[in-house]
Chains A and B, each alone.
Chain A
Amino acid sequence: MDLLLQTIINGIMLGSVYAMVALGLTLIFGILEIPNFAHGALYMLGAYVAFFCISSMGASYWFALVISIGVLFFVGMVIERFIYRPFYNQPHISSFIVAVGLILILENGALVLWGADFRRISPPSSSIFNILGITVTSQRLIVIGVVALLIIALHLFIKKTRLGYAIEATSQNRDGAQLMGINTGLVGQATFGLGTALASVAAVLVAPILLISPVMGESVIAMAFVIIILGGMGSFIGAVLGGYIIGLLETMISTFVTSYYAEALIFGVLVAVLAVKPTGLFGKEH
């Protein structure tokens, strides 16, 4: 029973990370219609920016988190404007290949700057709580709590603010939004920045629990793609629910079935879904 409860807590924690990463990915896809293969590499960059602030500048954890969000927001905007945008009018495959170039730059850049070794960010607080007979570190509660708050805030942002309206309108109908006077170029740029910033939040929050390394984004991005395909590419609620479900599923499988091949099993689910329904579970027909 304790093991089950512990597993559920861990699953929700992992699910929170996945939900954040998948949300960023799905927002970007909704607006720009590009699967951002470099999203995992940007997630990794977010963790290293925080690591750099803490280890080289002596910043506090929370300050480093804010810096990382700011830096990644800016990096995302720059990437959208100068790397992806020139390829919008070309075949899809061009932007896929450009994304591959980005991954090469980001992952190997991190490798050169910080080496291949695993790095650790110390948590802001190391207290441990006893809840219902199981022990939970404060960092896990921070991850779960902050992500839940952010999801609510993001939902309100999209539903209640002018920029949020613009994002939703653009994702529903780009040309229509443009005719209504929305600067879709700027909206795309801001959304890309926002999506990347979300990835960095997830990375910095989870960094004290999982170690950071230049390849830390790879398994996360694969999972995030599985999630948004299952949840429907571009769907907000699909990314959030899918994130928690896949996080729980992965933790359950690796605790109770096999700890080695959980990722491969979940990928098998994706292939099975694609075989039955090529546009994803809740995806629109193109």
Chain B
Amino acid sequence: MTVKNENKKRLIYGFLILMAVSAPLFITGDYPRHIMVMCGICVISSMGLNLILGYVGQLNLAHGTFFGIGAYATALLIQGLGFSFWVALPVGCLITAILGFLTGLPTLQTKGHYFPIATMCLGISIYYVVARWDALTGGASGLFGLPRPNPIPLPFGREVAFESTVSCYYLVLFFVFLTLLVIARFTRSLVGKRLAAIRGNENLAQSVGINTMRDKVIFLSISTLIAGLAGGLYAAYMGSLMAEQAHFLGSFEMLLNVMIGGVGTLAGPIIGGILLPILTETLHFLGGLRLVVYGILLILIMGFLPQGIAGSLRLATRYYEQRRTAK
């Protein structure tokens, strides 16, 4: 029974991976492919948010700001210091993670309301710094003319270049898989299990000797690192950055991704991260009203589908299995 299920699962995963890898064969045209790249970036940053929201149970309202920090850090390392993209990206991620770590130290020891409040204030004030620090960030007008990632040299004088949208898609897809692997490994590790205990009952977890503070800070650092990774990829792909990218409203769309897909599940942010950019494209005719619709959607999901799509599917299959075994 379980072996059969495992095999079925593997088959589904394999099929999905094949779909993702072969997608550019079916989806031609530059604009749809551009949306695919954006979906990938969206998936990565939403997976980061899900890590802190779904596994630690804390709402980081500055997640979009950390995305912006990663984007600006990577861009400035390339443009200001002449770093190669392949050095700038990890360093940019590291800078973001260090800032996330420093944010976590004072704010995660608080309980209940303080973490979202503090991160909201942080997000708003960092946005003002980014928008006003003309000398570093270009202020409100932003940064322009960033090069695409440097080509990777191969033997026999060939190279992998990142000029086309398809090549960028594969670049982003690589990082989607990498992030997914890290998160899957991480949430099933001892730290992940300890966190599940913390979410269940923090006082009890503490009393059996779990250092709850350390685990939470680790998760926040990794979550912001992933946000920074998505930001760095975004900067190199788009070639320009605006102060808006560091605006805390950016956190809200990622939050919607995670909530639609299913908070606290591996598949959730992937489903949401693919659905929402597509939804955004189809709702273009609404103009500014689109975000009003998103707000309504977010409240409705909280009210009627708090588990999201992935969580509801899981509940449905479990119900179905139980019915079958009962017979």
Contacts of B106 in A (CB 8 A): 271-272, 274-275, 278
| B57 with A108: CB separation less than 8 A | no
Does any Cβ of B come within 8 Å of A52's Cβ?
A: no
Q: Nearest Cβ distance between residue A110 and chain B, in whole angstroms? A: 10
B interface secondary structure, majority: helix
Docked complex Cα distance between A267 and B58 (Å): 20
| B125 with A111: CB separation less than 8 A | no
Could you list which residues of chain B lie within 8 angstroms of chain A, going by C-beta atoms? 53, 57-59, 61, 103, 105-107, 109-114, 116-118, 120-122, 124-126, 128-129, 132-133, 248-249, 252, 255, 259, 287-292, 294-299, 302-303, 306
Contacts of A221 in B (CB 8 A): 120, 124
| B295 with A105: CB separation less than 8 A | yes
B287 to chain A: closest residue by CB: A112
Contacts of A109 in B (CB 8 A): 292
Docked complex Cα distance between A217 and B74 (Å): 31
Docked complex Cα distance between A34 and B113 (Å): 8
Which of A92-100, A171-179, A188-196 is found at the contact surface with chain B? A92-100
Could you list which residues of chain A lie within 8 angstroms of chain B, going by C-beta atoms? 34-35, 37, 83, 86-87, 90-94, 96-98, 100-109, 111-112, 218-219, 221-222, 225-226, 229, 233, 260-261, 263-264, 267, 270-272, 274-275, 278-280, 286
Docked complex Cα distance between A272 and B112 (Å): 18
| B128 with A101: CB separation less than 8 A | no
Docked complex Cα distance between A279 and B58 (Å): 17
Pick from B249, B259, B292, B302: contact of A105, CB under 8 Å:
B292
| B59 with A97: CB separation less than 8 A | yes
Docked complex Cα distance between A280 and B121 (Å): 15
| Known contacts A97-B259, A97-B298, A101-B298; A108/B292 CB under 8 A | yes
21 A-B residue pairings within 8 Å (CB atoms): A35-B116, A37-B117, A97-B255, A97-B298, A98-B298, A103-B252, A104-B291, A105-B292, A107-B291, A112-B287, A218-B124, A229-B114, A263-B124, A263-B128, A267-B122, A270-B118, A271-B103, A271-B122, A274-B118, A280-B114, A286-B111
